[in-house]
Amino acid sequence: MIRVKQLTFSYTNRPFICSMSFDVREGEIFGFLGPSGAGKSTLQKILTGLLTNYQGSVLVNGVEVKARDRGFYEEIGVDFEFPSLYEKLSARENLRFFASLYKKSRDPNELLASVGLLQDADKRVADFSKGMKSRLNFIKALIHDPKLLFLDEPTTGLDPSNARRVKDIILEQKAKGKTIVLTTHNMYDATELCDRVAFIVDGSLRAVDAPRSLIMAKGASIIRYTFLQDGKEQQREVAIDRTGEDELLQQLLKDNRLLSIHSSEPTLNDIFVEITGRRLA
Amino acid sequence: MRLWALLRGDVRFQYKYGFYFLYMFLALLYIGMLSVFPDGWRERAAILMIFSDPAAMGLYFMGAIVLLEKSERTLDSIAVSPARTHEYTLSKLFSIGVISVIVGLTIGLVGGAVKITIQFLVGLLLCSCLFSAVGLVIVARSVSLNSFIISTVPVQLLINLPAAAWLFGWQPSWLLLHPGVSMMQLCMPNRPVLPSGVILASWTLAAWVIANRTVAGMFKQIGGVKL
């Protein structure tokens, strides 16, 4: 669905994105992870045709983005990080207007209901909370039933239950065969939703793989346990493949003196830090 | 049809943001003012009012409309939709043109300035589209309402002053090439219609072509490229 080869882009004289190459397969959720200013949004602008003065090749849905025509946008839905809505129009009027720009469209009511906004459909967007605007912005990207979705921080500003709704809709879109490009610095969303993630730092890709593969390849699971010593609670940890060598743990188990014991895997954030030396948030 | 969809969207936007209410109020104000003019002055005053306001409203309104779209980031969504630049600009020109014609025709009829309706309407619509296109060129490069207003001042002087001078008797022949004068020629009876129509249409077309280029640049700036 997307094929990027030797992509280089610059806002100034200095390259901002350097020789980037990757593919996004049809029907997968592909995540771009990186700290602010890493180049994620710039990359999304290039993939959506907002920036066309790049070097290299960027094929999206079989079209070289530089040479796109307006028909290119019939199959692309973009959820920008910040709401892009007419504040004095109602939610339904906003959806109807944007739907009218495309050849095909979905039922606005069905979409509004899917994110819990049907009862507020005729309310002015100016009266919406930040989270409501964010949900409306998200379904606006789906109004023309595109094959390819670009979602920029789709769960930012949402409470846990609405974030869950949005994530479920993203997974439903994937089940329908849609390709989704997710830009985020939320490692939990990326781990849960993405088939593959790309780590971006300073305009270059440092790793591309499935989140689980990255976690399992780079990090060893840890066991943490606590116990009492001289009346104070102490904590120790040991790699899961070295528990047999931990004599203290053996002894505590034998004496039934463990207060707690947990296993923990490294998170995607831990792996990101390990590979790139930078933090996600 | 996408142009029709954009046009309906613009009309709804202008209605919701109170533009129509504002112009209904201004039309009533102008009509009230015309009623106090003596009969000999009324026609000329009506033409000057129409030229400097309903016909020119696009110059001022385009700033408010596009800066609102910029602040609400709806231009971002339009930039990644199938809407073409010329559809976007035509929709803006026509939506403002409709109000210009309704308000201008009302003032013209009350002031007794409408002699040949079709000529009057064509002149008014072309002039409105010209001002709107110039407004689009200015607002596409403006970052705030203040910078937009400051930039419109020289344009207003360039268009309004020669036209007003013509209306009040300073009429060198070369001034017939001026778009404002062409509009007045079209609106007044017993004047050469075809040359004025061609001159005004040419100015309007040229301004629209430049507006398309500038708006295309504005859409690129959404991507962060400085042009």
Please tell me which of the candidates B9, B76, B79 has its beta carbon nearest to residue A97.
B9
Which helix H or strand E contains A264, and what residues bound it?
strand A258-264
> In angstroms, rounded to a whole number, what is the distance separating the alpha carbons of residues A247 and A234?
16
Chain A residue with minimum CA distance to B68: A86
> Alpha carbon A159 to chain centroid distance?
17
> Alpha carbon B20 to chain centroid distance?
15
Instruction: Say whether A70 and B84 touch across the interface (CB within 8 A).
Output: yes
Q: Between A166 and B166, where is the model more confident?
A: A166
Distances in Å between the Cα of B178 and the Cα atoms of B47, B135, B158, B162, B165 are 16, 18, 9, 8, 12
pLDDT for residue A219: 59
3-state DSSP assignment of residue A26: coil
ipTM of the complex: 0.85
Spell out the domain ranges in chain B. 2-220
**Please, where are the H alpha helices in chain A?**
40-47, 91-99, 108-114, 130-140, 160-175, 187-193, 211-218, 247-254, 268-276
Instruction: Say whether B82 and A86 touch across the interface (CB within 8 A).
Output: no
- CB contacts of A11 in chain B (<8 Å) are 224-226
Tokens of B25: 């109020």
* Burial group, residue B183, by CB count within 10 angstroms (0-12, 13-18, 19+): buried
For residue B118, give the nearest of B131, B93, B101 by alpha carbon.
Answer: B101
What is B206-220 written as a DSSP string? HHHHHHHHHHHHHHH
pLDDT for residue A186: 83
Would you write out chain A's pLDDT as a tens digit for each of its 281 residues? 899 999 988 887 777 888 889 999 999 999 998 887 778 888 888 999 888 888 899 999 989 999 888 889 999 999 988 899 999 999 999 999 999 999 999 999 999 999 999 999 999 999 999 999 999 999 999 999 999 999 998 998 899 999 999 999 999 999 999 999 999 878 888 889 999 999 888 888 888 889 888 877 765 678 899 998 888 999 998 888 888 899 999 999 998 999 999 887 777 777 788 777 766 65
pLDDT for residue B225: 47
Chain A residue with minimum CA distance to B66: A86
pLDDT for residue A165: 94
pLDDT digits (tens, 9 = 90+) for B176-208: 899 888 888 887 777 777 888 899 999 999 999
Distances in Å between the Cα of B129 and the Cα atoms of A91, B23, B94, B136 are 31, 17, 7, 10
Nearest-CA distance B106 → chain A (Å): 29
- CB contacts of A74 in chain B (<8 Å) are 82
Q: What is the DSSP letter of A118?
A: G
Answer yes or no: are the C-beta atoms of A135 and A115 closer than 8 Å.
Answer: yes
**pTM flag (> 0.90):** no
Please tell me which of the candidates A74, A93, A98 has its beta carbon nearest to residue B12.
A93
Q: What is the DSSP letter of A267?
A: P
> In angstroms, rounded to a whole number, what is the distance separating the alpha carbons of residues A80 and A279?
23
3-state SS, one letter per residue, for A171-237: HHHHHCCCEEEEEECCHHHHHHHCCEEEEEECCEEEEEECHHHHHHHHCCCEEEEEEEECCEEEEEE
Distances in Å between the Cα of A211 and the Cα atoms of A7, A156, A188, A192, A214 are 24, 20, 10, 9, 5
For residue A62, give the nearest of A79, A75, A44 by alpha carbon.
Answer: A75
Chain B residue with minimum CA distance to A96: B9
Answer yes or no: are the C-beta atoms of A105 and A143 closer than 8 Å.
Answer: yes
- CB contacts of B222 in chain A (<8 Å) are 50
pLDDT at B171 over 90: no
pLDDT at B92 over 90: yes
Tokens of A58: 């960027």
> Alpha carbon B33 to chain centroid distance?
22
Tokens of B42: 């009324």
Please tell me which of the candidates A73, A83, A100 has its beta carbon nearest to residue B80.
A73
Half-sphere exposure of A214 (CA within 13 A, CB side): 27
pLDDT for residue A279: 65
Answer yes or no: are the C-beta atoms of A255 and A249 closer than 8 Å.
Answer: no
pLDDT for residue B223: 53
Half-sphere exposure of A44 (CA within 13 A, CB side): 29
Instruction: Say whether A86 and B8 touch across the interface (CB within 8 A).
Output: no
Nearest-CA distance A246 → chain B (Å): 56
Nearest-CA distance B36 → chain A (Å): 38
pLDDT at B226 over 50: no
CB atoms < 10 A from the CB of B50, how many?
30
pLDDT for residue A185: 79
